[in-house]
Structures are given as C-alpha cells and as structure tokens.
Amino acid sequence: MEREPAKSCEDLIVWQNAHQFVLAVYPFSNSFPAVETYSLVTQLRRAAVSISANIAEGFRKKGNQDEARFLNIAQGSLEECRYYLILARDLQYGDSTGLLSALEE
C-alpha cells in the first residue's frame, strides 16, 4: 500500500515523534530544582523544541540542500538533548531512561 505524500509536517512520523518528545520533556523538567529554571530546564526545553521546529521548517524548504540543512540542525538539537538528559540523570534530577530511549526513535 502506497502512502500519500505528506501535506504538512504533522503528517511526518519523525515530526510526530519529535513533538511527543517535547511534550514529555516539559513535565520531566518541571521536577528539576528551582536553581535550574533558567539554565538546564531552559536549555533542555529549547533544544527539544528545536528538533520538531527544524523538521517543520525543513519540510517547507524547496531545495533538497535547504531541507537537509534544517534536518541536520534538528539532529544536532537531538544530540544536545541527549547530553542534557545524561546530565540530569547524573545530577539525580530524575530518571531520563525513557526520554533517552525516545531519542532513538
């Protein structure tokens, strides 16, 4: 069975997974100490949102080079999130195992 071409970024499975990741990052980071509100919480959330935002922006780019550039930025943000989740785990701010697994999707 052939799939219809995506009409919007919301039709992309990769965007859907990235969006679900963002929705999971927010409650996870709510439990961080107040001292992290303007540092690790902000950095993690910004990087998480950047993944799906860059997938969305790349979706509308006309040329393959432009699209690839935004997808590459999304990959960089994903790796940034990976580090923040490792840091949060090592600082004992919460169990980031599920979120780290979600990044593999």
Domain boundary assignment for the chain: 13-104
Return the CATH number of 13-104, one of 3.40.50.880, 3.40.50.300, 1.20.1440.60, 1.10.10.10: 1.20.1440.60
- Please answer whether residues 45 and 24 qualify as being in contact, where contact means their C-beta atoms are separated by less than 8 angstroms: no
pLDDT tens by residue, 13-63: 999 999 999 999 999 999 999 999 999 999 999 999 999 999 999 988 888
What's the confidence (pLDDT) of residue 61? 81
DSSP state of 11: G
- Look up residue 33 and give its amino acid: P
Buried b (16+ CB within 10 A) or exposed e, 44-76: bbebbbbbbbbbbbbbeeeeeeebeebbebbee
Q: Do 78 and 100 form a contact (C-beta atoms < 8 A)?
A: no
Instruction: Report yes or no on whether pTM surpasses 0.75.
Output: yes
